[in-house]
Amino acid sequence: MNPPPEAAERHRAPALWLVVAAIAAAAVAAALDGAFTGAAVLVSTLVGAAVARIIGRGRRPEGIAVRSTWVDVTILLGLAAGIGALMLAPGV
């Protein structure tokens, strides 16, 4: 007899929740201290996610691993570089 669906093991994906919490922290930082601080938190989050993706090969960390490792890392670092460039650009 199979257990009911509620009793099935659930994937918690702690890395995904850390990223969600960091994005919420970036929104709070932007509201309280300004857009520069919020963007800096976003850049830090993206770089941290890229590092976690390099360290956790395969399907780890759950919630961040979507494609192959190097595609994920390239996309995350590309987004971090783009936001960082906009953050440092004068008049933006």
The DSSP H or E segment spanning 64 is: none
For the chain, the domains span 35-92
9-23, 39-53, 78-92: least confident range: 9-23
- The pTM of the full predicted model, rounded to 2 decimals, is 0.79
pLDDT in tens, 67-77: 888 898 999 99
Lookup: tokens for 58:
């395969």
Place of tokens 């993206």: 46
pLDDT in tens, 17-53: 888 899 999 999 999 999 999 999 999 999 998 998 8
Band (16; pLDDT cuts 50, 70, 90)? confident
pLDDT for 88 equals 92
- What secondary structure does DSSP assign to 26-61, as a single string? HHHHHHHH-HHHHHHHHHHHHHHHHHHHHHS-TT-S
Beta carbons of 52 and 79 less than 8 angstroms apart: no
